[in-house]
Amino acid sequence: MMRYSALSLLGNAFSKNKNWKPAWRNPDPKPHYDVIIIGGGGHGLATAYYLSKVFGVRNVAVLEKGYLGSGNIGRNTTIIRSNYLLQGNNPFYEFSMKLWEGLEQDFNFNAMVSQRGVINLFHSDAQRDAYTRRGNAMRLHGVDADLLGRDQLREKLPFLDYENARFPIMGGLMQKRGGTVRHDAVAWGFARGADQHGVDIIQNCEVTAIDREGDQVTGVQTTRGAIKCNKIGMAVAGNSSHVAGMVDMRLPIESHALQAFVSEGLKPFIDTVVTFGAGHFYVSQSDKGGLVFGGDIEGYNSYAQRGNLACVEHVAEAGMAMIPALSRVRILRSWGGIMDMSMDGTPIMDRTHLGNLYFNGGWCYGGFKATPASGYCFAHLLAKDEPHETATEFRMDRFARGYLLDEKGVGAQANLH
């Protein structure tokens, strides 16, 4: 397998780039694997990568119904951050941030991790108090957090509406280490790394049934035939209920569509990630110049990767309320992903009622930033049959037992999280 280096670049430049090798193999499925990961998106590929690289489990297949990275890893707003409030969440997302920070060297692929900072604006005393509580929770865990006043914001973000805003900006909570990552490259980097460690990434291979014997799973039926295995890990966020339905599991999850957008390419306009506090809007500028932004979910259950016009308008309205200069910026494209919206807004990573079937899902619209840690922790769970120390509270039974991880405090209504 080919390692990317200054030398390989130089050599290939002189050979007109004719000698680059495939980034991954395109194998046929073997009859049996130690572990099958269902879902070749970011989380599934990351799981396979860490399983093979860190935990030494190499007889692994990732089964992807479409092309690798065809799920939400390729349709999000590319934001990474670890600005979480609750004890069950904060260490996990910080673990993820640390993995992001070393990822490029780790998998020898430049995913363009850009720690340009994430700023959450607040517009009222109550919001400031909530962000103070959050920022202090971060600081307690050693995560960087700063509370910025209006003047500091003006310096960093001169284009916000300070003069005529309906909801005047009071300040912001900043995480300097937050930022963005080139989303597709994350999938490719993990895929290439997993492949190098022997993982079979099998595309165009849709799982149609999960085979069971008693309280164990034995393999899967796919559009490319039956495959046996010792363990199955599900990483199909967006479609979790559908796949779980194959083994008669009902989940505390609803699937919802979330739109995201990109503007035409602009010269440098906005230097950090900024989120609005008086409406649903978050924005950053890609390395190519497009403003990448999003808002709220559509509100109704959907498996169609598209949204509606009303939501587009709401997002644009919130955007311009925050940055009036957007008026003449044109929006180029919208896209839609399907979110596993869990009933407390927090993911689930746990064993299931079937002894060797493991579940990873419910990421709501926070799955992208979690990709490396989700992979690492799910690999830990699959390899050692016990949760990683930062993912002990993502349990399936927390709903029944009342140990909820509800960052927003809105309760058991999926579309409010």
Query: What CA–CA distance (Å, rounded) separates 363 from 377?
Result: 14
SS3 394: coil
Q: Which is nearer to another protein, 71 or 366 (CB)?
A: 71
Q: Which DSSP string corresponds to 1-58?
A: -PPP-HHHHHHHHHTTT--PPPSS--PPPPSEEEEEEE--SHHHHHHHHHHHHTS---
Q: State yes or no: residue 364 binds another protein (CB under 8 A).
A: no
According to the binding rule CB under 8 A, does residue 411 interact with another protein? yes
- The backbone torsions φ and ψ at residue 386, rounded to the nearest 5 degrees and listed phi first, read -145, 150
Minimum gap (Å) between residue 138 Cβ and another protein:
8
The answer to whether residues 362 and 344 touch, using CB atoms and an 8 Å cutoff, is: no
> What character string, x for contact with another protein (CB under 8 A) and - otherwise, covers 11-30?
--xx-xxx-xxxxx-x----
Q: Which of residues 323-362 bind another protein (CB under 8 A)?
A: 324-336, 343
Compute the distance between CA of residue 302 and CA of residue 305 in angstroms, rounded to an integer. 8
- Burial of residue 9, with CB atoms counted within 10 A of its CB: 0-12 exposed, 13-18 middle, 19 or more buried: exposed
CB of 56 to another protein, least distance (A): 25
**Which CB, 33 or 109, lies closer to another protein?**
109
Site for another protein in 288-307 (CB under 8 A): 288-290, 298-306
Q: Which is nearer to another protein, 57 or 111 (CB)?
A: 111
Site string for another protein, 81-110 (x = CB under 8 A): ------x--xx------------xx--xxx
Site for another protein in 180-219 (CB under 8 A): 182, 184-185, 188-189, 203
Does residue 275 interact with another protein by CB under 8 A?
Answer: no
Please report how close the Cβ of residue 87 comes to another protein at its closest, in angstroms. 6
d(CA 401, CA 389): 20
CA distance 71 to 279: 27
321 binds another protein (CB under 8 A): yes
**Cβ–Cβ under 8 Å, residues 71 and 39:** yes
Establish if 406 lies at the interface with another protein (CB under 8 A).
Answer: yes
Tokens at residue 92, please?
Answer: 């996990």
Least separation, in Å, of the C-beta of 230 and another protein?
A: 28
Give the orientation angle of helix 183-196 with respect to helix 367-384, to 10 degrees: 20
Among 42, 71, 135, 337, binds another protein (CB under 8 A): 135
Strands 118-122 and 171-175: antiparallel
Residue 223 touching another protein (CB under 8 A) = no
- Name the segment binding another protein (CB under 8 A); options: 54-62, 161-169, 207-215, 229-237: 161-169
**Cα 254 → chain centroid:** 17
Judged by CB under 8 A, does residue 414 bind another protein?
yes
Quote the distance between the C-alpha of residue 207 and its chain's center: 22
**What is the C-alpha to C-alpha distance for residues 179 and 102, in angstroms, rounded to an integer?**
14
Q: Which residue, 24 or 368, is less far from another protein as judged by CB?
A: 24
CB of 370 to another protein, least distance (A): 18
By CB under 8 A, name the one of 146, 162, 176, 198 that touches another protein.
146
- Both tokens of residue 43? 């989380």
Number of residues that bind another protein (CB under 8 A): 144
Among 198, 247, 269, 392, binds another protein (CB under 8 A): 269
From the CB of 379, what's the least distance to another protein, in Å?
Answer: 23
